[in-house]
């Protein structure tokens, strides 16, 4: 309620600024033309209705559920199934907001009472339009808990995920994060839709039947595992006088009990040559090889 009230206050301030400018221009025109009082009242009423109703209607239609106040505070209007609203939803919400929810002849109380009594914070306009206001900036849960069942680990590791776009993966992750907040019917329908879209872009299919949320969780868990391994790969990128000394093993992973496994298996350590003092010139020594496979200095022409 406080967040929505603050967003509404921002929108009202913007509307008042626009109204003051338009009414000032309108009065200047009416005075210059010496128009009648009835015409002046009619034009002012039309301008007020256009700004108050048109602002919300146009903004929520063009931005798919956001006004400037909602955009600033990270709020968005969506349909009950989580999809974006359209013109008819914005029209119903706007008309109900102005004539019912916060109408002056109702002391602006129906919308507040309905929001406090509804578990999703819906006002009457949201109930009629089939919409709900959600918070886009979810800070409490950055990512839902993802997992792969033990008997499907081999299948998950064989998945082809190169065709899965980031936008669809983020949508599936948001769906799992808000899984318990959705209505059962909308939750099932949205899960099936996302599951089918992800299944069309990944292969092979799971060996055993899976419900849509479990399938999405397994795919996203494997995708995140591969991404973490990729990000753990260390490559020397620092340049300058304080750059670390380069190594030949550019795919080493950080050591420690929580270090991710190397995607290229166990790599051998960097070879370290062993140097020995050169023998006297009158005693030629044949080249030998140490345990690392490097030739020790000898009397051959190459010096090894």
User: How far is the C-alpha of 1 from the C-alpha of 218, rounded, in Å?
Assistant: 36
pLDDT in the model for residue 28: 79
pTM (two decimals): 0.46
Residue 258 has pLDDT above 50, yes or no: no
Cβ-Cβ contacts under 8 Å for 293 (sequence gap 6 or more): 271
Q: How many CB atoms lie within 10 A of CB 229?
A: 14
pLDDT in the model for residue 27: 80
Instruction: Give the confidence band of 4 by pLDDT, cuts at 50, 70, 90.
Output: confident
The overall average pLDDT reported for the chain is 77
User: How far is the C-alpha of 200 from the C-alpha of 159, rounded, in Å?
Assistant: 12
Mean pLDDT confidence for 257-271 = 44
């Amino acid at each position: 309620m406080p967040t929505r009230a603050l967003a509404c206050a921002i929108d009202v301030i913007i509307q008042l600024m626009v109204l003051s400018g338009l009414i000032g221009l309108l009065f200047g025109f009416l005075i210059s033309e010496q128009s009648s009082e009835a015409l002046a009242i009619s034009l002012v009423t039309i301008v007020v209705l256009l700004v108050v109703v048109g602002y919300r209607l146009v903004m929520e239609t063009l931005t798919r559920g956001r006004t400037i106040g909602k955009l600033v505070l990270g709020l968005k209007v969506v349909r009950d199934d989580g999809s974006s609203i359209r013109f008819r939803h914005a029209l119903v919400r706007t008309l109900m907001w102005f004539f019912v929810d916060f109408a002056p002849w109702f002391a602006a109380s129906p919308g507040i009472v309905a929001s406090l009594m509804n578990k999703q914070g819906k006002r009457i306009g949201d109930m009629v339009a089939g919409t709900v206001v959600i918070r886009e900036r979810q800070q409490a849960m950055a990512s839902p808990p993802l997992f792969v069942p033990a008997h499907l680990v081999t299948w998950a590791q064989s998945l082809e995920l190169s065709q899965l776009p980031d936008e669809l993966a983020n949508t599936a992750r948001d769906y799992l994060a808000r899984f318990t907040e959705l209505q059962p019917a909308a939750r099932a329908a949205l899960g099936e839709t996302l599951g089918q879209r992800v299944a069309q872009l990944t292969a092979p299919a799971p060996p055993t039947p899976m419900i849509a949320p479990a399938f999405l969780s397994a795919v996203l868990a494997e995708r995140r595992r591969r991404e973490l391994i990729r990000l753990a790969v260390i490559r020397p990128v620092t340049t300058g006088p304080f750059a670390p000394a380069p190594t030949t093993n550019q795919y080493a992973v950080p050591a420690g009990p929580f270090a991710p496994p190397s995607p290229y298996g166990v790599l051998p350590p960097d070879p370290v040559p062993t140097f020995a003092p050169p023998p006297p010139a009158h005693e030629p020594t044949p080249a030998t090889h140490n345990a690392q496979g490097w030739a020790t200095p000898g009397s051959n022409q190459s010096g090894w």
